[in-house]
Amino acid sequence: MSTKADKLKPRLSKIFSDLWDDKMRTTLVVASISVGVFALGMVISAYSILDTDVGHSYASINPPNIEIWTDPFDDNLVHSLEKTEGVEDVVAHRLMIVRASIGDEAPQSLQLLGMSEFNSDVNLLRPIEGTQYAKEGEVVLSEDRMHSSGYHPGDIIKVEFPDKKIRELKVVGLVTDQITSQPTPGQLVYAYVSMKTLDSFGIDYSYNHFYITVTGDGTDVDFITEVADAVEEQVERSGRYVRKINEGMLSNEHPMNDNILAIIGLLGILGVLLAVLSSSLIINTLNALMAQQLRQIGIMKLIGGRSKQILGMYLKLIVFYSVIALIFAVPLGAAAGYGLSLVISTILGAVLQGFRFVPAAIITQVVIAFAIPLVSGYLPVNSGAKTSVVRAISDLTPGATPKKKSFLSANAKWMRNFSRPVLLSIRNTFRKKGRLLLTIFTLTMAGAVFIGVFNVRASMDSLMDNLLAHFLSDVTVNFTHPYRVNEVEQALLEIPGVEALEAWGGAAGEIVDENGEVVSDLGLSAPPYDTQLLSPEFLAGRWLLPGEEKKLVVADTIYNFYPDIEPGDTLRLELNGGRAEEWEVVGIFRFVDMLGDPIGYANFDFIAQKTHLPAQASSFRIVTTEHDIESQAKIAERVDKALNELNFDVLSIQTGAELRESASIGVNVIIMFLLVMAILTAIVGSIGLMGTMSMNVLERTREIGVMRTIGAVDNVVMLSVIIEGQVIALITWVLAIVLSFPISTVLLKIIGETMMGSEMTAEFTPFGIFLWLGIVIILSIIASIMPARNAAKLTINEVLAYE
């Protein structure tokens, strides 16, 4: 045993010597392995935690399987529905929009939910601050990352109800509601009060909304749909119109679960790319190491070392690199994965089950940490181990300049205008072409991903612009009931800063098939035919013409139900519970599938006639003389004050800036995650460049010594190294621009299909290109400074004596 130990000791001693003596090389290789392994650990941990915990958290609140909005009803209908086959529980609410404020601040609209019982077992609210139970005269508010009222427990808010009376409510708690925590533009904060509170305010004790759970575990979509149909039929038999129904809500699957996991999956693809990119540094490092230690290999072979023993020794060195990388990457990846899960779960209103290490993540990290370095390093190590003794101990020096003249020869015409240090830097850049190609590949991919993320951001901004092209007004005013258009025009056009306004109508519609079965809900808006506040991007057809009846333009989300529909085809529509009629589709425009049911547009005059509201509207869109955020807010305050003085029943007032901010929150979350991965790829690229520059300087040690002996000062030596790094950086920048186009297209395709449910048009922005130029220049300087300083510090005796 002691003999075997003695034989192993010199090899292990050399391995530890290689690890310790060249700390820069060890640090770079370990860091390169760690970044890729860390990223994969983070993504897999987050995916596993979210996949398990979000579903568990959602199931724990006992979410409804069916949600219905209908005409007012009382407890008798609730008791009747509870007896319907398949129904487990029914919870009724009173939904209304109110306006709330504190002191003299501008009022904000809230979605008020009058609850028949706060201790219901359906859709349990989780307290964030204070309590989740509101007594008479109290209110509890929903709170999440995307929607916040700004109110806190203890605040007394003044609430204006639809009857124009203002009552005071005490805020007693902030809660998360996983049903209402959706990244939907314009969604209001929910306010929960007891029905006793509404009764004390003189508001009639009736409901217009309810949640229903089904028997069983609530995971059978077909069964839920069957129960929903039975419930809808029973509600309609009672003489009430079902305005909207949301069915197919599974008890163990958060509504946003698939979208979130799709984001994590996209990050996983980038994590794999990081792990692959790290292999280039390993190949470069081991190639340089084997070239540097050729004489040592020759000596080992002279004293009896066999190629397999030498190969095994260097492979063990790689294993040690991987072990060190795992020590850092595993705990950091687990912590980052939990942190990422925490951010996403907070957005969803979900509660995690606590920090933990995910076995699948650790196993993957271990496999990747050993597999990629060993596979990447085998060829250079095996080649070095098989080097003959004669070649290994000959005078062939690493990085010797080839004698054959080339494009970069000193007497090449195009190089004669460069100074000697610059000329030397350019020639040295291309001395080791294999190493240069690997470095360029790594940094180019990093740059392409970085630029691609900004292109994705520009494309998603364009998508938001397309979405907001349907909401071009500076201020939108909604009333609790319709008013005559000329009456509102007279009131609003007199307000300073109001330049123009349009009255918009609308109706709740359903698309039905030949058998009268509902295919989909359809939100139908009715602007004036000559509206200036709507600019849809048409995929086919045209806009509405004056006086057209039973004609509509519809969003491309209609393709989900009618894939082959074209302008000229008809849809059977039921408006506000009326009889089904054939409507001709005259145009199809681009929209976002993730926002729900299809929307459409019809002429204002025709819809006003169909809804028996001629020349009346409850929604008015205002154009202001100034369009900046501050001006919009000032005009909104003036409009609110003027309408209140004239006793109009205002439901809500919203500025265009508020709508855009609300719509962009979900997009910004996606971009934030992509930027994290882009930064990580930039780190891998910079590590690769730093490793290359360190190896290049190491191999030029004698050359630097010669430069010093003929009078080159430290600044000249440092400048030559930095210029070399700049040349590599600029080459990769140009290549990254080219490669960013296909990468952007692929990222957009994944995001569009898995998250947005809509095809996204690629937009390419120069911002990311020039930002990456600045970053890559700075990275190249940082990557060059340390090896350049080390080279400049060497004495002439040290560099001339270098082996």
Q: Over the Cα atoms of the chain, what is R_g?
A: 34
- Contact call for residues 508 and 521 (beta carbons, < 8 A): yes
Tell me which amino acid residue 446 is.
A
Report the C-alpha gap between 738 and 745 in whole angstroms: 12
Tell me which amino acid residue 196 is.
K
- Contact call for residues 762 and 459 (beta carbons, < 8 A): yes
Q: What is the DSSP letter of 548?
A: -
The separation between CA 33 and the C-alpha centre of its own chain, rounded to angstroms, equals 26
DSSP helix/strand/coil, 93 = strand
Q: What is the DSSP letter of 244?
A: E
Res 632: pLDDT? 87
Report the C-alpha gap between 438 and 417 in whole angstroms: 29
Q: What φ, ψ does residue 388 adopt, rounded to 5°?
A: -70, 155
Go through the chain and tell me how many residues it has: 803
CA distances 699 to 33, 175, 254, 784, 788, Å, are 24, 63, 58, 14, 13
**pLDDT tens-digit readout, 116-150:** 878 788 888 888 899 989 999 999 999 877 677 88
Res 326: pLDDT? 94
Report the C-alpha gap between 58 and 64 in whole angstroms: 10
H helix runs in 186-256, sequence order: 195-200, 221-237
SS (H, E, C) 30-68: HHHHHHHHHHHHHHHHHHHHHHHHHHHHHHHCCCCCEEE
What is the bridge-based pairing of β-strands 189-194 and 108-115?
A: parallel
H helix runs in 349-432, sequence order: 359-385, 389-392, 420-429
- Contact call for residues 349 and 183 (beta carbons, < 8 A): no
Res 387: pLDDT? 78
Q: Which residues pair with 193 in a beta bridge?
A: 114
Is pTM beyond 0.85 here? no
User: Residue 128: which H helix or E strand, with range?
Assistant: strand 126-130
**pLDDT tens-digit readout, 236-274:** 888 888 888 887 788 888 877 777 777 787 778 777 877
- Contact call for residues 119 and 248 (beta carbons, < 8 A): no
Counting as low any pLDDT under 50, the low residues of the chain are 1-8, 395-403, 407-408, 410-411, 414
Q: Tell me the CB-side half-sphere exposure of residue 331, using CA atoms within 13 A.
A: 3
- Going by C-alpha positions, the residue among 736, 726, 680, 694 that lies closest to residue 278 is 680
DSSP helix/strand/coil, 207 = strand
Res 570: pLDDT? 92
- Contact call for residues 271 and 368 (beta carbons, < 8 A): no
Instruction: Give the pair of three-digit tokens for residue 349.
Output: 């209103």
Q: What φ, ψ does residue 525 adopt, rounded to 5°?
A: -105, 155
Q: What is the DSSP letter of 414?
A: G
DSSP helix/strand/coil, 84 = coil
DSSP helix/strand/coil, 654 = strand
- Give Dmax over CA atoms of the chain in angstroms: 104
Res 656: pLDDT? 82
Query: CB burial class (10 A; 0-12, 13-18, 19+) of residue 396?
Result: exposed
H helix runs in 555-628, sequence order: 604-610
Res 706: pLDDT? 64
- Contact call for residues 773 and 733 (beta carbons, < 8 A): yes
Q: What is the DSSP letter of 519?
A: E
The dihedral region occupied by 218, where left means phi > 0, alpha psi between -120 and 50, and beta the remainder, is left
Res 574: pLDDT? 86
Q: Helix and strand tally (H, E) in the chain?
A: 20, 20
Instruction: Give the pair of three-digit tokens for residue 382.
Output: 């095996």
* Percent of the chain scoring above 70 in pLDDT: 85
Q: What is the DSSP letter of 558?
A: G
Report the C-alpha gap between 328 and 365 in whole angstroms: 11
In the numeric block, the tokens 């003249």 are attached to: 405
Report the C-alpha gap between 527 and 504 in whole angstroms: 5
DSSP helix/strand/coil, 499 = strand
- Going by C-alpha positions, the residue among 340, 337, 341 that lies closest to residue 351 is 341
Query: CB burial class (10 A; 0-12, 13-18, 19+) of residue 710?
Result: exposed
Report the C-alpha gap between 104 and 166 in whole angstroms: 14
The separation between CA 689 and the C-alpha centre of its own chain, rounded to angstroms, equals 29
Q: Tell me the CB-side half-sphere exposure of residue 378, using CA atoms within 13 A.
A: 5
